[in-house]
């Protein structure tokens, strides 16, 4: 079975099945990966490590508008192309990471869109969080080219991407899922199949982002309160992590929250404006469902305020500076 895969990174339907498939040390068969070509468009913070991970077992082609990123890709054994359409031409699969539904439409169907150069039978693997609204039209337009959509939003950062340790939730028709599985299994430590149609993955990721966005905002408020009460923030964080108040997001963002007041701030691993987008998707989904979500709405306002205060490009842990612009203790 021969494949080509293109990766573009420019990072509620009712569930019918929920299957966890752990793949910690995935090994795709030689027969399956023979002549399997992956094309990565956008070799940024997530695109390059994903491409490098895929290159451990597949042939990888890549494109980026930044020359330094192309050089890094070449050093990783990735063959580079001069345009997105050239890279995508004839591909069997397209792994797509875009910011929103508008960019999704432009990349696939715009003036220089790549959908028309994909071969019939190809799959587009959507790894971004764009919400459910854009999915039906995308599915319909791709079908005109004989291409299927695999809705597979992912979670994790650059380090986990390079290690094949991403968490990916999938909504896709079974045949399309099988066509995409070689790529998904190389990138994910856990695949969660939540439904058999595109949109199911976006729906679950929306729920996931509600919790993540609220947890980060709550962690920031808690650490700001600790400072206001004269507590040592580092000791407070350690104590909270060991008790019932602990959570993954507290442990992950907590140390970065403590760096928010340093001269350079925390290393940017997840931009604050990503949660402006994602909490906006959450709010739109809850309103469409007629569901009150006041806690999520309050968290969204914190991210919007942070963006308005010039923190859009800062790490999302900088949201603590919205509620506490400066530390009270030394």
205 in catalytic set: yes
d(CA 212, CA 278): 10
d(CA 75, CA 149): 31
- CB contact set of 5 (below 8 Å; sequence gap of 6+): 36, 37, 38, 39, 54, 58, 91, 92, 93, 94, 95, 125, 182, 183
Tokens, residue 137: 């039209």
Phi, psi of 19 (to 5 degrees): -125, 125
Q: Catalytic one among 119, 159, 205, 284? A: 205
End-to-end CA distance of the chain: 62
DSSP code per residue over 215-233: HHHHHHHHHHHHHHTT--H
- How many C-beta atoms surround the C-beta of residue 24 within 10 A? 9
Between vectors from CA 1 to CA 95 and to CA 18, what angle results, nearest 5°?
55
Strand 79-80 vs strand 59-63: parallel, antiparallel, or unpaired?
A: parallel
Q: Are 106 and 113 in contact (CB under 8 A)?
A: yes
Catalytic residues: 205
């Amino acid at each position: 079975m021969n494949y080509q895969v293109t990766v573009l990174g420019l990072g509620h339907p009712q569930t019918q099945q929920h299957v966890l498939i752990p793949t910690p040390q995935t090994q795709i068969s030689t027969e399956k990966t023979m002549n399997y070509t992956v094309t990565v468009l956008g070799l940024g913070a997530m695109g390059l490590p994903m491409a490098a991970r895929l290159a451990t077992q597949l042939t990888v082609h890549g494109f980026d508008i930044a020359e330094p990123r192309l050089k890094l890709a070449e050093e990783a054994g990735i063959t580079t192309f001069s345009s997105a359409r050239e890279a995508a031409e004839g591909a069997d699969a397209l792994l797509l990471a875009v910011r929103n539904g508008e960019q999704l439409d432009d990349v696939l169907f715009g003036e220089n869109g790549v959908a028309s150069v994909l071969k019939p039978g190809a799959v587009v693997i959507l790894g971004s969080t764009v919400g459910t609204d854009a999915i039906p039209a995308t599915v319909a337009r791709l079908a005109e080219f004989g291409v299927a959509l695999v809705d597979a939003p992912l979670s994790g950062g650059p380090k986990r991407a390079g290690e094949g340790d991403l968490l990916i939730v999938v909504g896709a028709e079974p045949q399309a899922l099988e066509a995409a599985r070689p790529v998904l299994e190389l990138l994910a430590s856990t695949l969660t199949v939540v439904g058999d149609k595109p949109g199911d993955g976006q729906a679950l990721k929306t729920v996931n982002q509600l919790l993540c966005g609220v947890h980060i905002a709550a962690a920031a408020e808690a650490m700001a309160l600790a400072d206001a009460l004269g507590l040592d923030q580092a000791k407070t964080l350690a104590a909270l992590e060991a008790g019932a108040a602990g959570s993954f997001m507290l442990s992950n963002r907590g140390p970065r929250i403590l760096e928010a007041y340093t001269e350079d701030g925390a290393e940017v691993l997840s931009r604050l404006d990503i949660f402006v987008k994602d909490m906006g998707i959450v709010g739109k989904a809850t309103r469409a469902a007629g569901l009150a979500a006041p806690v999520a709405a309050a968290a969204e306002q914190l991210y919007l305020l942070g963006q308005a205060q010039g923190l859009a490009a800062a790490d999302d842990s900088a949201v603590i500076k919205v509620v506490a612009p400066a530390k009270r203790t030394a």
